[in-house]
Structure 1
Amino acid sequence: MAITAADVATLRKATGAGMMDVKKALEDADGDMEKAAQILREKGKAGAAKREDRENSQGAVALVVIDDHLGAIAELKCETDFVAKSSEFIAILERITIAVAEKGEEAKDTFEADLDLLRATLKEKIEVGKVARFVAPEGSVVDGYLHTQSDRGVNAVLVEVSGGSRELAHDIAMHIGFSRPRFVSRDEVPKDEVEAERQTLETISRNEGKPDAQIEKIVDGRMRGFYEGICLMDQRFIRDEKITLEQLLGQAKVTRFSQILIGQ
């Protein structure tokens, strides 16, 4: 069967694959569009297997917030920032994020066929990375923050706040985006991590020649810096360093947050 330019154009539009790849697939499939699309998918899988040992620390993240009670963030990983900025890559990432928001985190696993075609087209190791979805209970709100760089999201935050406004949740999400805490409050930090830090600070203080009688007090003071680095409630608000996040919240409460950073 003769392969026409119109056939090539139609399959290219449907799959996003390159012209020569599409033409070869159509020839191998004797002009059958569905068979050709399957061939391109299979080539995507074969290429992905060959690229399995490659590092894919690049990519993009996306954020979706629906009304003020439902939100999701998702990461799509690839090998280069060039691919991460491509329209095909961003389009699938946005679809994945919407699906996660609407259907749950497991929805990320329903895009393998689309990703196979994307791998065939862009010829990189591409896979879904981290995802998070919050459904706020009554009395709570969800909002987020997305930091973009070179036409792609690189830092996504999702926050749930109880007893506060969506605007407050957005301010906190933006703060998290830049300050990158690991925990909401001190009581979430694993005890072994706290103890290891105390021992390290005690050793440092003794090596500095601090008097034994003052060691405990000095370590307590230095632990405040440790908590400020990893606990949201101990941090100073980026828009007003005179107040902590705990003071900013007042009677409101951050019940949870999630952050996804490209390359981490």
Structure 2
Amino acid sequence: MATISAKDVQTLRQQTGAGMMDCKRALEEADGDLEAARKLLRERGLAGAAKRADREAAQGAVGLAVLPGAAAIVELRCETDFVAKAESFVALVDELARLVAEKGEDAASARQEAVDDLRTTLKENISVGRVVRFVPAEGSVLGSYLHQQAGRGVNAVLVEVKGGSEELAHDLAVHIAFARPQVLRPEDLPEAEVAEERATVERMARNEGKPEAALPKIVEGRMQAFYKERCLLEQPFVKDEKRSVGQVLGGADVLRFAQVVVGG
């Protein structure tokens, strides 16, 4: 059996993040071969990760990357906020966002080995979550916003605006981050959801004893409140609540938006 030096153990530990005794045992089994020992540790880590795969991963971090001509959001999921705030975890989600912005949504899968290594090191169920990439059309600008807590991104937004300024696009991204609309306009909501809500508010109005003749107006008023909660263009603008987002746009158009919130 090869002699296992403290230097080899330390080297393997730095490469894998595994515990000192785990590194020593792997090196002994691999007869001192660092690469073979690293492979052993990774296989064991993946085996452990398979056992953890059913555990809920409701925590995590989001990375946002904005490059000339493209922008991306990537979510990396884990089980605890302690792991989500780890330097290696945040560094990986930021790297994934840059890769996706540069090369496309499939680029995140190219770093699966790094995700697997993080599972081994941090001993949690870790996986790539939502991945979004925007390439603006000609004449459009992108707005972005990343809300951070304890050094990690937790709420990321991208919005594409045609015929508007970069300042407007940024203000809209900030609005979306805090107002959290589901869709752009009322007609984008699922028809079944709208019909169910309309039936519910009508039943409520009848149960409150509202006059039959007044029901259509009451129902429509309550549906407007429903739309304002869910539809971006109907929401009161956060910087001027006397106007809706649609009114603030003037001659500009919101083409699309995306929001990724940890745990959302």
TM-score, reference length from structure 2: 0.96
Matching residue of 2:224: 224
- Checking the alignment, whether the CA contact within 8 Å between 2:136 and 2:160 is kept in structure 1 is yes
Q: Counterparts in 2 of 1:26-65, with a 5 A limit?
A: 26-65=27-66
Give CA deviations for 1:235-262 in whole Å, capped at 9, x if unaligned: 1111111211112111111111111111
Give CA deviations for 1:85-136 in whole Å, capped at 9, x if unaligned: 0011111111111111111111121222112211111111100111100000
Distance 2:181 2:44 in 1: 42
Q: Which amino acid aligns with 2:246?
A: E
Distance 1:162 1:25 in 2: 57
Unaligned runs of at least 5 residues, structure 2:
none
- The percent identity for this pair of structures is 56
Q: Which amino acid aligns with 2:193?
A: E
Q: Which amino acid aligns with 1:108?
A: A
Matching residue of 1:213: 213
Query: How many Å apart are 1:225 and its aligned residue?
Result: 0.2
How many residues are matched? 263
Matching residue of 2:12: 11
Matching residue of 1:157: 157
Give CA deviations for 1:147-196 in whole Å, capped at 9, x if unaligned: 11122111111111111122211111111110000001112112221111
Distance 2:38 2:143 in 1: 39
Q: CA RMSD in A?
A: 1.2
Is structure 2 residue 103 aligned with structure 1 residue 103? yes
Matching residue of 1:252: 252
Query: How many Å apart are 1:12 and its aligned residue?
Result: 2.3
- Checking the alignment, whether the CA contact within 8 Å between 2:63 and 2:96 is kept in structure 1 is no
- Checking the alignment, whether the CA contact within 8 Å between 2:78 and 2:124 is kept in structure 1 is yes
- Checking the alignment, whether the CA contact within 8 Å between 1:141 and 1:164 is kept in structure 2 is yes
TM-score, reference length from structure 1: 0.96
SS at match of 1:111: helix
Q: Which amino acid aligns with 2:198?
A: R
Q: Counterparts in 2 of 1:175-194, with a 5 A limit?
A: 175-194=175-194
Q: Which amino acid aligns with 2:41?
A: L
Distance 2:31 2:131 in 1: 40
Give CA deviations for 1:188-207 in whole Å, capped at 9, x if unaligned: 11222111111111000000
Which shifted more, 86-95 or 226-235? 86-95
Distance 1:163 1:226 in 2: 28
Query: How many Å apart are 1:35 and its aligned residue?
Result: 1.1
Distance 2:182 2:155 in 1: 14
Query: How many Å apart are 1:51 and its aligned residue?
Result: 0.7
Q: Which amino acid aligns with 1:57?
A: A
Which shifted more, 144-153 or 220-229? 144-153
Give CA deviations for 1:207-243 in whole Å, capped at 9, x if unaligned: 0000111101110111110000000000111111121
Distance 2:113 2:172 in 1: 37
Unaligned runs of at least 5 residues, structure 1:
none
Distance 1:142 1:24 in 2: 52
Q: Counterparts in 2 of 1:71-82, with a 5 A limit?
A: 71-82=71-82
